[in-house]
Amino acid sequence: MAISRRKALQFSGVLVATTALNASNKIDGLKLKEAVKTNTSYNAPLSPAKGPRVVVVGGGWSGLSIAKYTKIFAPNADVVLVEQRYEFISGPLSNLWLVDKIELEFLTHDYLQAARENNYTYFHATAIDLDRKNRILKTSDGDVSFDYLVFAPGIDYDYSRWTKDIAFETRLRQEYPAGFIPGSEHITLRNKVLNFKGGNFILTVPSGNYRCMPAPYERACIIADYFKQKKLKAKVILLDENNAITIKKEGFQSAFDKLYSDYLEYHPNTKIQNIDLDKKIVETEFNEISFEEAAFYPHVRGAKILERVGIAKDANNMLEGDINTLTYEVNDEKDIYITGDSRPMGFSKSGNTSNSEGHYVATLIAQKINKSKKIKWESPTTACFSAVSIAPERAIYIYTQYAYNKTDSTFKFTSTSSSENWLKDGAVNADSNRAWATALYMDMFSK
């Protein structure tokens, strides 16, 4: 007997993120292909806009805050959030879910609730193209006209430094997913950890401005602690392309040395040269390492939709948004913005950064709609907690903002503070971690 979609949630722990079309009022796959091929117009099933329409592509930490606060700052705006997932699953704090230290319900939230509470429209669809001249976003469920458009689509992975073979890349994605795009990847990784019987478990850290810089180190600590509590004959092998721990170095290094010397090996300045998935061997410049399980985190890039619609810039091979870094507007394109982890600035690709950035971009859009006085640039805020142990639960913390250098048009850290002494402050930081997440979820999903 077929099970219901909600029943499947109970079995799997999460609804699979999907780009499939809804069953009713949808164009079928053949018509969609023909629509894209011939540019035939199929209007999306949306009510006519009653004011300037602001379309936000992507329901992550940035997109959600932009949708909410644009409507607050410009109440006459018609705000539409275009998102291909049915529900929000948080990346931040998900490492704790991997080892059963947090409930999935805490990480999972309702797009419909966010839209109801904040008086905008959640439109379940996938953005597929852009007609700039006619101000139309093309989606899997029809065309959406806009006055203002925001792309907040997050990241995609770039496996090209490891392989050009698409079949091999597919195996990496399916058999050893990175676990930094929420959904199925996290379920796979969680099952790998919980069912691990022993041996080497390889994790990797890419170079560049990858998503959530402390997360690979946090994950290494959490998994090592889990193996330690289970008394497994197991070891986490952390292969880091960077010369040293990229952030919170003092706290993580202390945890590596004092808590997990028998369960964690840290290899800085280590680039993978070859991966043999059949023999389960990783080759580096220095040695060969066998493994029983792994999660291979490749380099990241801006989401491919930006490249597809012609608003990406190939800077440092990351294909992020080609924007004015102070206004977030696409260069030479009025009223189209790129935010979140696809923007090119060196801000942390993290939840708090994207959320606070979204508040600022919402004020920029509202300022145009309201024809009010232009506002000054506002720095996003990076506030980040990282667990270093689960029994007892302890965490470290960093807070920073950014300053703009007009001379060379770059950004640098400023107003930075941290708490990396996990022996002294670890328990308080762990409690604060959950309080922080609760506050941010409320900010995005409630009034």
Sequence spans of domains, the chain = 18-154+303-370, 158-300
Does the structure show a pLDDT above 80 at 19? no
Q: What is the pTM of this model?
A: 0.90
What local confidence, expressed as pLDDT, does residue 359 receive? 98
E strands in 44-89:
53-57, 78-83, 87-89
Q: Which residue has the higher pLDDT, 420 or 28?
A: 420
Q: Token pair for residue 73?
A: 């700052």
Q: Assess whether pLDDT exceeds 50 at residue 32.
A: no
Q: Is it the case that residue 51 has pLDDT exceeding 90?
A: yes
Segments in 140-294 forming alpha helices (H): 166-175, 184-194, 215-230, 249-259
What are the tens digits of pLDDT across the range 210-255?
Answer: 999 999 999 999 999 999 999 999 999 999 999 999 999 999 999 9
| 399-406 long-range Cβ contacts below 8 angstroms, 24+ apart | 400/348, 402/345, 402/347, 403/379, 404/326, 404/377, 404/379
- Say what the pLDDT of residue 426 is: 98
How far apart are the C-alpha atoms of 69 and 77, rounded to whole Å?
11
Q: Residue type for 370, please?
A: N
Residue 36 has pLDDT above 60, yes or no: no
Asked whether the domain spanning 158-300 has the same topology as the one spanning 18-154+303-370, the reply is yes
Tell me the pLDDT tens digit for each residue of 129-148: 999 999 999 999 999 999 99
Per-residue pLDDT, 327: 97
Q: Is 207 exposed, middle or buried (0-12, 13-18, 19+ CB in 10 A)?
A: middle
Residue 44 to residue 144: CA distance in whole angstroms = 6
Tens digit of pLDDT for each residue in 346-396?
A: 999 999 999 999 999 999 999 999 999 999 999 999 999 999 999 999 999
Confidence at residue 433, expressed as pLDDT on a 0 to 100 scale: 97
The predicted structure's pLDDT at residue 40:
54
Contact 301, 319 (CB under 8 A): yes
- Of the options 3.40.50.720, 2.40.50.140, 3.50.50.60, 3.40.718.10, the CATH number for the domain spanning 158-300: 3.50.50.60
Mean pLDDT is lowest, of 25-34, 53-62, 251-260, 319-328, for 25-34
User: What's the topology of domain 18-154+303-370?
Assistant: FAD/NAD(P)-binding domain (3.50.50)
Angle at 126 between CA 121 and CA 128, to 5 degrees: 125
Average pLDDT, the chain: 92
- Range with lowest mean pLDDT among 32-36, 188-192, 226-230: 32-36
Model confidence at 18: pLDDT above 70: no
Residue 315 pLDDT level (bands cut at 50, 70, 90): confident
- CB neighbours of residue 380 within 10 Å: 25
Number of H-type helices and E-type strands within the chain:
13, 24
Q: ∠ at Cα 11 (202, 176), nearest 5°?
A: 20
Enumerate residues 6+ apart whose C-beta is below 8 A from 403: 379, 411, 412, 413, 414
Q: Token match 């699953």: residue?
A: 89
4 pLDDT higher than 60: no
Query: Is it the case that residue 25 has pLDDT exceeding 70?
Result: no
pLDDT tens for 77-131 read 999 999 999 999 999 999 999 999 999 999 999 999 999 999 999 999 999 999 9
H or E element, residue 64:
helix 61-73
Pairing outcome for strands 234-240 and 199-205 = parallel
User: Could you tell me what percent of the chain has a pLDDT over 90?
Assistant: 88
Is the pLDDT assigned to residue 329 strictly greater than 90?
yes
Q: Flag whether pLDDT at 343 surpasses 80.
A: yes
Residue 192: count of CB within 10 angstroms of its CB:
20
